[in-house]
Amino acid sequence: MPGTAVRGAPASTSGGRLALVAAILLAGVLSGWALSARRPSAPAGPRPALERRYEQVDLGSFRKELLVDAATLAHESFEVKVALVLNPDYGDLAVYRPLVEKRRDLLRHITQTEIVNAKPDGELRKPTALEGLSQEIRKRLNAELGPSAAGQDLIQKVIFPESKLPPRR
């Protein structure tokens, strides 16, 4: 009967293994259920301004000579350095920034001839000259570049990192 004992031993060992596998599966199912039943974590809020994507395209400096006195033909300089801040909601800025940089000469031409040179001297002497200039440049250049498929403007803001403004008269 030694053969009977040998046959019985593997049967009890395979039954023990089956019970162990079933216990592990049951523990995994219960753990998954417990984890899914817990309260979800709070959604991530908006990123702080410092961490948001930021791309800037420098258009360079723009200058216009303003007449001070017609009798002496004295002039003062109005000079600003213009930079375009691109809108991160427009799309992948790594793709769009080089496209804007390729059009830099066209954008400079529009800014100088259609906007800065077209302004009367008195308007460039006003304390709000830069604010008005910023809005006008942004609107005109966005019209030139066109909106995204979602209707977003590519230029979010126009800034003047450097400026030399004449005194108000």
pLDDT tens, the chain, 169 aa long: 455 544 545 555 777 788 888 888 888 888 777 777 776 666 666 667 666 678 899 999 999 988 876 667 777 889 999 999 999 888 888 899 999 999 999 999 999 999 999 999 889 888 899 999 999 999 999 999 988 888 889 999 999 999 888 876 6
pLDDT at 27: 84
- Do the bridges between strand 155-164 and strand 56-69 make them parallel or antiparallel, or are there none, so unpaired? unpaired
Contact 52/88 with Cβ under 8 angstroms? yes
d(CA 17, CA 9): 13
pLDDT at 49: 66
Provide the H-helix boundaries in the chain. Answer: 2-37, 93-102, 104-109, 121-125, 129-145
Contact 83/65 with Cβ under 8 angstroms? no
pLDDT at 23: 86
